[in-house]
Amino acid sequence: MERMKQLQRKIESVRLELDEALLRKDKFESYYEKSTELDKLIEEYVERKEKVNIC
């Protein structure tokens, strides 16, 4: 359960960084890297959530 909370905090943090990168008009590569990181975190969160719901 603690890992889920950590993931939630990290997701929010990366989402904020992504928003800020967009506002700063960062290079595409930087924005894409943050976007990919966010996708992976969300994927991990969903997978863990599904495992908890199955058990």
Instruction: Delimit the domains of the chain by residue range.
Output: 2-54
Per-residue pLDDT reduced to its tens digit, 22-45: 999 999 999 999 999 999 999 999
- Percent with pLDDT over 70 in the chain: 98
Percentage of the chain surpassing pLDDT 90?
Answer: 78
pTM of the model: 0.86
Kindly write down the DSSP assignment for every residue of 10-50, as one continuous string.
HHHHHHHHHHHHHHHT--HHHHHHHHHHHHHHHHHHHHHHH
